[in-house]
A = this chain, B = another copy of it.
Amino acid sequence: MATLMDVAHAAGVSKATASRALHRPDMVAEGTRLRVREAADRLGFQLNAAARALTTGRTGLVGLIVPTLSNPFFAPLVIGAQQAAEDTESHLLIAVSEYDAEREAALADRLSEQADGLIMVTPVGTDAALRERFRRQPLVLVDRQVGRLPAVVADTAAGLAELLGRLLDLGHREIAYVSGPAGSWADAQRRAALTAQASEAGAHVHVLGPLPPTFDAGIEASRSLPAAATAVLAYNSYLALGLLHGLGTTGRRVPEDISLAAADDLSTLGATTPPVTALDVPLQQVGRLAVTRLHELLDGQRRTVTSRVPAAPVLRASTAPPRVS
């Protein structure tokens, strides 16, 4: 592989000039810039990332830790992060924690050796550990808020509140919320938002769970819904699909007998019978923003704020006025 030295030689300039011609175009005469560029192209020159990293102290690598990839929910997050990384000439170093706090910590330790900073979507695990980690390295949290640590969160709580509002408008007063994994930060936010708003409106939210966010758990949940409930909100699409399935097998029709909605929107929700009302969570934007925030952090712009990205309800056929009984 050709080195900068080779390029400099071929162009008849010094290493320093060659380096500047490539990275500081305005610090060099137009003519030499062209000659260097030409030589670089001709030799197929590629900058040695390691050497560059050694001098600049930047690797150009962004560490991203997600709990799972088995849930397509996270795909847009990765896509968005990748887009932002491309825009900033950096790359994504990905690791999957499998919802295991210990494993997550180990991965974070290992990634941080190579990456300039970390983006973690870590629904479980303690606040203290994250605080401690932030002390040691640039860190942006996703879908979780810990004190004033930099974070990007999709505001599903607010979105879900809006969704609840629609249900209240339709006339529902007894609503079940099938909650997600134990200890989930996002889930706690949603429960709080829902119960607060319901009591304000003279309605009541029955909380089921915590439950694993799976299809099977949804089926189970469909059997233990409070009899009074005329609508049910699910923590995620899998639970919603399970609920839909479970309700179907026990002869309860959606939405005639009971309305159904989910707090995230996997594409399959639009293709079921009936299509399921859901919350559109702009995770791609969240991913982009997280990378942007991280770079701000690295550049010393101390924007340790939480960015909120709004989530909006997508109304489909699974929600309707309650049965008048």
Contacts and interface: CB of A to CB of B under 8 A. Distances in A.
A131 to B, nearest CB: 18
Nearest to A59: B50
A42 B154 CA distance: 40
Contacts of A71: 72
A241 B47 CA distance: 48
A267 interface: yes
Contacts of A61: 93, 114
Contact of A249 (B79, B82, B273): B273
Interface in A168-208: none
By DSSP majority rule, is chain A's interface helix, strand, loop, or mixed? helix
B82 A74 contact: no
Nearest to A268: B215
Contacts of A47: 113
Given A92-B93, A113-B46, A114-B91, A78 B82 contact: no
Contact of A78 (B51, B69, B241, B242): B69
Contacts of A241: 268
Interface string A56-69: 00011100000011
A72 B51 CA distance: 37
Contact of A94 (B49, B92, B98): B92
Interface of A: 46-51, 53-54, 59-61, 68-72, 74-76, 78-79, 82, 86, 91-96, 98, 110-111, 113-114, 215-216, 219, 241-242, 245, 249, 267-268, 271-273
